[in-house]
Amino acid sequence: MVQVNPGFIDQVGQAKTFNAAACMNCGVCSAVCPMGIELLPRKLFRYVLLGMEDKVRDNSATIYSCLLCKMCEVNCPAGVHIAENVRTLRYYLYK
């Protein structure tokens, strides 16, 4: 059972630089990822939207393994700014 933490949503999920509302969970991002990172970004964004702080922290190594190549972003049918979102998360984890 994962506790949803609304405070975490406020800190990250609703930050101006993070926007994953348009994500519809299609999975194109995972399919085109040259690193084969399955987590990124669709799962990860769900964790953020739902305030699942522990899940995000558990995956910090994965978050840092992203190349920021934007392969996912150019292929995203919903136009989510994936690389920008990942940067925001890194900033948050670093803090």
Partner 1 sequence: MSDRRIGVYICHCGGNISDYVNVETVRQAVANEPGVVVAKTAMFSCSDATQQEMIQDIREQNLDGLVVASCSPKLHLPTFREVARRAGLNPYRYTQVNIREQCSWTHTNDHAGATEKAVRLVRAGIARTNLTDPLQPIVIDTVPAVLVVGAGIAGLRAAVGLADLGLSVYLVEKSPAPGGRVGDFGAMYPHGKNGRQLIDRLVGEVRKRELVTLFTNAEMVAKSGTIGSFNVKIRVGGKAPGEINVDVGAIVVATGFDNYQPAADEYGYGMDGVITLPEFKKLLDDNAGELEYNSRQVKNIVYIYCVGSRQQDGENPNKYCSRYCCNAAVHASLQVSEKSPRAHQFHLYRDVRTYGKYELMYNEAREKGAVFCAFGGDEPPEVVSGPDGKLKVTVRDLLTYGEELAIPADLVVLVTGMVPAANSWLTELLKLPLGQDRFFNEIHPKLRPVETMVDGVFICGTCQGPKNSAESVASALAAVSQGASILKKGYVELEPLIAAVDPQACDLCGDCLETCPYSAIEQDTAAIRINSAQCKGCGGCAPVCPKGAINLKGYTDGQVKSMIDALLKEI
Interacting residues toward partner 1 by CB under 8 A: 1-4, 6, 9-10, 13-14, 21-22, 25, 43, 46-47, 49-52, 55
Minimum distance, C-beta of residue 1 to partner 1, in the bound complex (Å): 5
Three-state SS letters, 16-59: CCCCCCCCCCCCHHHHHCCCCCCCCCHHHHHHHHCCCHHHHHHC
Minimum distance, C-beta of residue 61 to partner 1, in the bound complex (Å): 19
Minimum distance, C-beta of residue 92 to partner 1, in the bound complex (Å): 17
Cβ neighbours around 28 below 10 Å, total: 14
